[in-house]
């Protein structure tokens, strides 16, 4: 007969009829729970690791996107060109990125999103390194082409991986963290580039900024991010039937993304000069109001992730937020607000604009055929690029007409159109499942 004494160490004891040790804190039950929970913990750790890695890549994309504009004073002096020539480089970037978004989505679905993402990170980094080593205007245009090509990779590849490997119950929050990382990358770029120029000079700043891309690509290889491709359509050894990727819903969502870009780009790019010239705001108060708009947008993205995980009606969320947003911006367009109220209104508008970002992404995920998330996000992200091409011309023309109030007024018009399209694209998973017998394959 075995004897065990009770101690503070809570040693296991043996009970007749049990195949294993019984523990005073839970015995076999505790042990069984641990065994059952282990795979779930492993999946959670893997998901968090994947989210952190993909969000880091998105940070790099916005960092590289802002690096060239932050170096315009250096480039203007070194190359002996005007701002028109420098602006043309950004136009080249936007056009290339817009034309290659959809093809990169197809590439991500066919050769794998992981390979596509690693190539994008490396190519974007090499483009800046090349410019730093061979500084000339032709190389600036070539760098803009390569940066545009690299930039077209991130949305299709990132969203394909997140859609395939994040917990469906936390998908909205995963999308919000991913988007927030991009916002953060753009926000810190001016300070980082300024520090690099001070320490290494303009050439060194280009080279160091570029080196971030390949280094993060190497980090993603070491971390071991998962892949996502058209092979995900294979379920239980059977390939799901092929579906057309160019659906009416995705076409509407592409227009939706373009309107989103137009509604925010005018305020982001021309809001400062509009407030100063049309509303009598000082530089400091206008700058503070715009900073509140941009900063609260990032906070709104995180809040929107929590909201997106608590509803299937993502279109209604986007419509409600933008309807209120339109009302706020209409007040800004028509009323000369005191500085404090102006800042509060701009902050509220930015916050609501950020809230809809995760719901926006969930609309695309829900509309994507199984195994085609890369292509779906590649197609709709083209709308962002179209907005990026049109908005500088449109809002620049508005300012040239001495109509600064219409910077906000035109944004209101685009917001109202966005509300209408958001309601059109609002289809719940249950509705999609009943309409499409293959829709179950899209469910995580």
pLDDT of 369: 77
Torsion, Cα of 406, 409, 413, 416 (10° steps): 160
pLDDT of 229: 66
Radius of gyration of the chain (CA): 25
- The one-digit pLDDT tens for each residue of the chain (444 residues) are 444 333 344 444 444 444 444 445 555 445 544 544 455 555 677 888 889 999 999 999 989 988 888 888 889 889 998 877 887 888 888 889 888 888 888 888 888 889 999 999 999 999 999 999 999 999 999 999 999 999 999 988 888 898 888 887 888 888 889 988 988 888 788 788 888 999 999 999 999 999 999 999 999 999 888 887 655 544 444 444 455 677 788 888 889 889 988 988 888 778 878 888 888 888 788 878 887 887 888 888 888 888 888 888 888 888 899 899 999 999 999 988 888 999 999 999 989 988 988 888 888 888 877 767 777 887 888 888 788 778 877 888 888 888 889 989 999 999 999 888 888 766 544 344 444 434 333 333
Domain covering 248-430 in this structure, CATH number:
1.20.1250.20
Which of 336, 319, 342 is CA-nearest to residue 424?
Answer: 319
pLDDT of 42: 58
pLDDT of 3: 42
pLDDT of 282: 83
pLDDT of 134: 92
Residues 269 and 272: their CA atoms lie apart, in Å, by 7
Residues 269 and 290: their CA atoms lie apart, in Å, by 10
Continuous segment of H or E residues that includes residue 235: strand 234-235
Which of 189, 240, 165, 158 is CA-nearest to residue 65?
Answer: 189
Continuous segment of H or E residues that includes residue 434: helix 429-435
pLDDT of 238: 45
Domain covering 34-227 in this structure, CATH number:
1.20.1250.20
Residues 67 and 209: their CA atoms lie apart, in Å, by 7
- Quickly list H helices, 134-239: 137-165, 171-223
Q: Please state the domain extents for the chain.
A: 34-227, 248-430
Structure tokens at 200: 């290494």
> How far from each other are the two terminal CA atoms of the chain, in whole angstroms?
53
pLDDT of 4: 39
pLDDT of 200: 93
Residues 347 and 354: their CA atoms lie apart, in Å, by 11
Report how far Cα 168 is from the mean position of its chain's Cα atoms. 18
């Amino acid at each position: 007969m075995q004897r065990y004494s009770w101690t503070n160490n809570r040693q296991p004891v043996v009970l007749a009829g049990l195949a294993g040790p019984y523990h005073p804190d839970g015995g076999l039950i505790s042990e069984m729970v641990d065994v059952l929970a282990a795979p779930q913990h492993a999946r959670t750790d893997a998901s968090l690791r994947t989210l952190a890695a993909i969000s880091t890549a998105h940070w790099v994309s916005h960092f590289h996107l802002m690096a060239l504009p932050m170096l315009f004073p250096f480039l203007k002096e070194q190359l002996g060109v005007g701002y028109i020539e420098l602006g043309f480089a950004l136009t080249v970037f936007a056009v290339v990125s817009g034309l290659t978004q959809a093809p990169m989505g197809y590439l991500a679905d066919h050769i794998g999103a992981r390979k596509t993402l690693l190539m994008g990170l490396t190519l974007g980094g090499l483009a800046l390194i090349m410019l730093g080593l061979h500084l000339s205007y032709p190389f600036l245009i070539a760098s803009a082409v390569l940066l545009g090509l690299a930039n077209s990779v991130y949305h299709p590849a990132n969203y394909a991986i997140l859609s395939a490997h994040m917990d469906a119950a936390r998908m909205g929050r995963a999308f919000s963290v991913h988007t927030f990382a991009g916002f953060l990358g753009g926000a810190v770029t001016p300070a980082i580039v300024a520090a690099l120029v001070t320490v290494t000079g303009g050439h060194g700043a280009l080279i160091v900024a570029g080196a971030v891309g390949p280094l993060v690509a190497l980090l993603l290889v070491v971390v071991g991010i998962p892949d996502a491709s058209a092979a995900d359509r294979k379920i239980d050894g059977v390939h799901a039937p092929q579906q057309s990727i160019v659906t009416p819903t995705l076409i509407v969502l592409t227009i939706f993304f373009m309107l989103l870009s137009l509604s925010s780009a005018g305020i982001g790019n021309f809001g400062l000069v509009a407030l100063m010239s049309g509303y009598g705001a000082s530089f400091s108060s206008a700058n503070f109001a715009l900073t509140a708009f941009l900063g609260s947008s990032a906070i709104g993205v995180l809040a929107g992730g929590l909201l997106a995980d608590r509803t299937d009606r993502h279109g209604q969320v986007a419509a409600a937020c933008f309807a209120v947003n339109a009302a706020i911006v209409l007040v800004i367009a028509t009323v000369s607000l005191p500085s404090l109220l102006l800042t509060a209104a701009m902050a509220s508008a930015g916050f609501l604009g950020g809230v809809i970002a995760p719901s926006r992404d969930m609309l695309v995920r829900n509309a994507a055929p199984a195994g085609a998330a890369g292509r779906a996000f590649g197609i709709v992200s083209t709308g962002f690029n179209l907005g990026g091409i049109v908005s500088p011309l449109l809002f620049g023309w508005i300012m040239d007409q001495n109509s600064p109030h219409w910077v906000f007024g035109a944004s209101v018009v685009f917001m109202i159109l966005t509300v209408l399209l958001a309601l059109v694209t609002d289809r719940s998973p249950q509705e999609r499942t009943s309409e499409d017998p293959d829709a179950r394959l899209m469910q995580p």
